[in-house]
Chains A and B, each alone.
Chain A
Amino acid sequence: MAITFRKVNFIYSEGTPFSYHALKDIDLNITLGKVTAIIGATGSGKSTMVQHLNALLVPTEGEVEVGDHTIKAKAKNKNLKDLRKHVGLVFQFPEYQLFEETILKDVAFGPKNFGCTEEEANQRAKDALKVVGIPDDYYDRSPLDLSGGQKRRVAIAGILAMRPEVLVLDEPTAGLDPAGTKSMMQLFLDYNRKAGNTVILVTHNMDQVLKYCDEVVAVKDGRIAAHTDVKSFFRDPSIMEGTNMNPPFIIRFEELLKEKGFALKDTYGDPDSLAKAISKEMKR
C-alpha cells in the first residue's frame, strides 16, 4: 500500500462563476506507517486534499493512488467502498455524524456497512469504545445525550472500529480542553505506534506537530510548500513564513535564547534535551 498524488488539480464548481481552484499540481508521496501532519492556513486546501484520500472528492485533473486503488480524473471510479474500508476519515467536529439509538449501535454502524457480521461489528465497537475510554455502562445510552467531548470520542470510535490502515483526521482536537486534547492525541499515536497504521493529521497546532508527528506537509495556496521530517522542518524558519502560523512554543523559546546570545548548537524541540543544553552552556 502506498499513497501517491500525481499532478492533482481540483477545482470546485468548475465551469460556473463560483469556480475555485483549490489544489494546484499536487505531487505528493505519503510515507506509510508514520504520523504525517498536514499544515497550512485556513483555505489553503488541506481539507480538500485529505478528502481525496478516500475519494469523497475526485481530482479534476491528475490521479491519486491509495494501495490497489487509483482514483483518476474524469473516469468512472469503482470500488469506492473498498477504498473507504481501508482509509478512515474523521471530519472536523465529527459529533454531528452520530444518529443511532445507542452508542454501541452507532459505533458498529461502520463495520457493519463494510461487511462485518453483527457479532463481529459489536465486538469491534466494544474494542474501539474501550480504546477511546467510554465505559461499558454507556453502551445502551443514546449518543445524542452525551457531552461534547464524549460525543467526539464516540464518533472517533465509529471510525476506529472500521480498523482502517490509514486514519485521516481533520483537526480532531478542535474545541477540546487540554486534558481531552492530550489523551486524544496519545490515542492516535498509539494507533500508529502499536498497530503500525498510517496516521494523517490536519492541524493548526504546531506543538502537536512537534510532539506527535514524524513528517510535515505544508500546504500554501493549494500547492505543497514543503514536505520534510519534523526536525528539519522546524530548523528552517523560512518555511513557516506566510503560512500564518506560529512555530511551537519551545522552538520560539529556543530562538529567543539564540537571539539573546545563547550558543545553542541544534534545534531540540523537547524540554529535557533543551534543559541539558542550557545547563551545559551555563557551566561554560
Chain B
Amino acid sequence: MNTAVVLGRYIPLDSPVHRMDPRAKIAAMFAFLISLFIDVGFIGYAILGVIVFAGVLAAKLKPSYIWRAFKPMMIMMVFLMILNFYAIRTGYVMFSIFGWNIYSDAVFQTLYIVLRLLLMINATTLVTATTKPMDMTIAIEDLLSPLKAVGFPAHDVAMMISIALRFIPTLLEESQRIMKAQASRGVDLEEGKFMEKIMAILSLIVPLFVSSYQKADDLANAMEARGYDPDAKRVRYRRLKMRLSDWMLVIGMNLVLAGIIVLKVVL
C-alpha cells in the first residue's frame, strides 16, 4: 500500500538469510555496526561493503528495494555535504564553486559519512527485511534475558514491542476510516485557513486517541481473561534454534570485527 515506508518492513521470501536464526542475525548486525564505527579508512568500508552485498544477494532482495530504503536519507546526505563543505577547511583545495573553495578533507569526510550511513542502512534493512516481526521480538527477548538477573523486564519489553508492531496496520486502517468519515463531514485537509486546518487535524487525532485507548483497554481485558501474567513462567510455541550456519555467521562477523580492530591498531 505505502511504498514510501521501506525501512523496517518484512519482505516474505524464501532464502537462506530468511531462514537464519534471528538472534544470530541481530548479533551479527551489532558486530557489523561496531566494525563500521572503527575508522580504518576505505579498506574497512570495502570489506564491509562486500559482506553486506553478499548478504543482500543471498537474501534474494531486489536492489531496487535497497535503493528505496536509501531514498529518504538523501536529503540528510545533501545537508551533511553542504555542512561539511562549509565547515572543513583543511587539506588542499580540490575545486571551487562560485569562488568558494572546496577542500579535499571536506570531500573525503563527506564521502566517509555517506558510505558509513549507506552501509548502516543497508545492514539494518537486510535484517528487518528478512526477519518476521514476531521472530524479531522473540530474539530481542532472548538476547535481553541475561539482563533479567539485574531486574530488567525482558519479557515485558518484548511483549510491548510485539503489541506495538501488531497494532501498526490496525491504527493505519483506523485513521483512514476516520479520515473518510470526517471528509464526509466537510473536513478538507488540503485547503482552508490555518484555524480550519488545526480543526481538521483535531478531528482526526481525537477519535484516533479515543479508539486507541479503547483498543488498549479491550486488549488488556482479553489478555487478563486468558490468564496472562507477565511474571509467570511460560514456554513458547516457536522455539529458536541456532544451527551451524548461524554460529558461523556470528563467529565470522566477530572475526571481521577483530580483524578491523587489528587493522586499526597496526595502522
Q: B185 and A110: CB pair below 8 A?
A: yes
Interface residue ranges of B173-215 to A (CB < 8 Å): 174, 177-178, 180-188, 202-203, 206-207, 210-211
A124 within 8 A of B: no
Closest residue to A112 on the B side, CB-wise?
Answer: B186
B1 within 8 A of A: yes
Contact with B along A65-87 (1 / 0, CB 8 A): 00000000000000001001100
B174, B184, B207: which has the most chain A beta carbons within 10 Å?
A: B184
Q: B180 and A109: CB pair below 8 A?
A: no
- Neighbouring A residues of B177 by C-beta, 8 Å: 91, 96
A244 within 8 A of B: no
Closest residue to A111 on the B side, CB-wise?
Answer: B186
Q: A96 and B186: CB pair below 8 A?
A: no
A91 CA to B180 CA, complexed, in Å? 9
User: Which 4 A-B residue pairings sit nearest by Cβ, starting from the closest?
Assistant: A113-B186, A99-B206, A97-B181, A110-B185
Partner of B211, one of A13, A91, A96: A96
Closest residue to B210 on the A side, CB-wise?
Answer: A144
A13 CA to B207 CA, complexed, in Å? 26
Q: A16 and B187: CB pair below 8 A?
A: no
A56 CA to B183 CA, complexed, in Å? 8
Q: B181 and A162: CB pair below 8 A?
A: no
- Residues A97 and B207 in contact in the complex (CB < 8 Å), given A56-B183, A84-B184, A113-B186: yes
A58 within 8 A of B: no
Write 23 A-B pairs (CB below 8 A) sorted by A numbering. Answer: A18-B1, A51-B180, A56-B180, A56-B183, A81-B186, A81-B188, A84-B183, A88-B184, A91-B177, A91-B180, A91-B181, A91-B184, A96-B181, A97-B182, A98-B207, A98-B210, A110-B185, A113-B185, A113-B187, A113-B188, A114-B186, A144-B210, A162-B185
Closest residue to A144 on the B side, CB-wise?
Answer: B210
Q: A109 and B184: CB pair below 8 A?
A: no
- Neighbouring B residues of A89 by C-beta, 8 Å: 184
- Neighbouring B residues of A158 by C-beta, 8 Å: 185
- Residues A99 and B202 in contact in the complex (CB < 8 Å), given A16-B1, A51-B180, A144-B210: yes
Closest residue to A82 on the B side, CB-wise?
Answer: B186
A220 CA to B13 CA, complexed, in Å? 34
Closest residue to A57 on the B side, CB-wise?
Answer: B180
Closest residue to B205 on the A side, CB-wise?
Answer: A99
- Residues A96 and B182 in contact in the complex (CB < 8 Å), given A81-B188, A91-B177: no
- Neighbouring B residues of A16 by C-beta, 8 Å: 1, 3
* B17 CB, min distance to chain A CBs, angstroms: 20
Q: A162 and B180: CB pair below 8 A?
A: no
- Neighbouring B residues of A85 by C-beta, 8 Å: 186
- Residues A110 and B210 in contact in the complex (CB < 8 Å), given A91-B180, A91-B181: no
A159 within 8 A of B: yes
- Residues A99 and B203 in contact in the complex (CB < 8 Å), given A18-B1, A144-B210: yes
A173 within 8 A of B: no
Contact with A along B149-190 (1 / 0, CB 8 A): 000000000000000000000000010011011111111100
A18 CA to B169 CA, complexed, in Å? 14
Contact with B along A14-41 (1 / 0, CB 8 A): 0010100000000000000000000000
Q: B180 and A159: CB pair below 8 A?
A: no
